[in-house]
Structure 1
């Protein structure tokens, strides 16, 4: 029998998470435009960083909550897509805990809490340069059809 082995069986879950992250980031114009950096990804986990630019400030001269949300949401997306199954958000919430100023550096860390069937729950903690929590985000994911990285079976 001369069938070719599944090429994905030869790579580790961490390598698959990295491959899916690279494919996603290459197509993620929003994260790129905002300067979001993907620092780490592994199955069910992602960490990203964002420097707060002057054009991220609102009328109170603090970082617009929508941009903090976007950092958390993007980090959530990389974590829940790390298994190479297309996954989208089905709901989320955020709590803003302290203001963020221009030039601060925010880090978002997404941790899978549960994955059951096609649904997952992820908690994302956003911290400032002093490692103070500035926001907490919880996202619920839903797996849909397709993959980010082509597979053979």
Structure 2
């Protein structure tokens, strides 16, 4: 089964609507998970909290509950291993912020490929992933996906 690291926007998409690709095990970073939870609970209609405001109140409550009690089939990095990897990433990329350090470490430790939302792909992370030899791709939320779409 392909292990795919998804960013905060894609995590929210998976929990509100579903990305739904067979043969894929999703994971996310702790920081992306925190940002998604913060947006769901405290958000004000921005890029991360907007999807929760666009669904009905019953689905919204269920999605927020699913997010706060992250499904067992969405994994997170193990903190002890992640910190060690993060130190290595930070030493190779000293100007990188904590979000990107942790995302890169998670990609190195627990993922076969990283899916970034279009917005995340516009930042510095793609170049860092390339430098670290991590496979990644942009996953457009509104694009249909199939079983071969995990690379």
TM-score in terms of structure 2 length: 0.25
Instruction: Determine which structure has the larger strand proportion and give its number.
Output: 1
Instruction: Determine which structure has the larger helix proportion and give its number.
Output: 2
The structure whose Rg is larger is: 1
Q: Which gives a bigger RCO, structure 1 or 2 (Cα 8 Å, sep 6+)?
A: 2
